[in-house]
Amino acid sequence: QVQLQESGPGLVKPSETLSLTCAVSGYSISSGYYWGWIRQPPGKGLEWIGSIYHSGSTYYNPSLKSRVTISVDTSKNQFSLKLSSVTAADTAVYYCARLFGLRASYFDYWGQGTLVTVSS
Amino acid sequence: QSALTQPASVSGSPGQSITISCTGTSSDVGSYNLVSWYQQHPGKAPKLMIYEGSKRPSGVSNRFSGSKSGNTASLTISGLQAEDEADYYCCSYAGSSTFDVVFGGGTKLTVL
């Protein structure tokens, strides 16, 4: 059974960089598949942030591309998200998930999510 | 890349059927049969209900079905049950040479 667990600071100051890590268990990232980050502001819908292949190829939401970096550490079986120059609008529950299927089009396993609040 | 369009809310009585629409463009929903649907209960992570347009993951009730016509995908829930009350999100593959995906705005299903 694949399991994902997000971790990182729950509070980030405006203009700083949000950093989160997703630890994967039950599957070796180096074996393949795409891995992604999704966020959900309080009371709002889901937004895809970006995805990374086990080899390191990345794909980002065009609206966030200038501020997002996703990386993978196969030795630790985890992948990470960095979002720079954050504002209150970046306050959200951040989920990590595995992408599967044709063109890696759907998310089959999700983490429980972690709330990140941007506030001074 | 614009969000897919879903109705904000739908409702139905136990035992009835409801359909949630998800409208995209010829660049996403219309070009690929790669729409997925997720169910989300309050405070929980989304759960995959339908993938690749109409396929159900193991363990998902056959009361859930997916379809597509043109630029609009649909999720139908038959025999509504109280536990179906949740938010539902569609998601479509959106990249011809990339692996971009785009979500819908979400639909709140109320079981009356």
Within 8 A by CB and 6+ apart from A11, the residues are: A116, A117, A118, A119
Residue B1 has pLDDT above 80, yes or no: no
Whether residue B103 and residue A34 make contact (CB cut-off 8 A), yes or no, is no
Q: Tell me which long-range contacts A61-70 makes (C-beta under 8 A, separation of at least 24).
A: A61/B1, A61/B100, A62/B1, A62/B100, A63/B1, A70/A37
Q: What is the mean pLDDT of chain B?
A: 95
Q: Residue A98's closest chain B neighbor by CA?
A: B48
For residue A72, the model assigns a pLDDT of 95
Q: Residue B91's closest chain A neighbor by CA?
A: A106
Band (pLDDT 50/70/90 cuts) for residue B98 is confident
Read off the pLDDT of residues B61-84 as tens digits, 9 standing for 90 and up: 999 999 999 999 999 999 999 999
Confirm or reject contact between A103 and chain B (CB < 8 A).
Answer: yes
Cβ atoms B102, B94 nearer than 8 A? yes
Residue A45 has pLDDT above 90, yes or no: yes
Considering CB atoms only, which of A46, A103, A112 is closest to B93?
A103
Band (pLDDT 50/70/90 cuts) for residue B50 is very high
Mutate to test the interface with B, among A35, A105, A109, A112 (most CBs of B within 10 A): A105
Residue A104 has pLDDT above 90, yes or no: no
Q: Residue A111's closest chain B neighbor by CA?
A: B45
Structure tokens belonging to residue B68: 């597509």
**What is d(CA B107, CA B90) in angstroms, rounded to the nearest whole number?**
9
Name the A residues in 39-78 with CB < 8 Å from any B CB.
45-48, 51, 53, 59, 61-63
Mutate to test the interface with A, among B100, B102, B103 (most CBs of A within 10 A): B100
Q: Measure Cα distances from B59 to A48, A94, A96, A119 in Å.
A: 25, 26, 22, 41
Residue B82's CB is within 10 A of a number of other CB atoms, namely 8
Whether residue B103 and residue A48 make contact (CB cut-off 8 A), yes or no, is yes
Within 8 A by CB and 6+ apart from B44, the residues are: none
Among residues B67, B82, B90, the alpha carbon closest in space to that of A107 is found at B90
Within 8 A by CB and 6+ apart from B98, the residues are: A59
Radius of gyration of chain A from its Cα atoms, rounded to whole angstroms: 13
All residues of chain A having their beta carbon less than 8 Å from the beta carbon of residue B8 are none
Q: Residue B50's closest chain A neighbor by CA?
A: A106
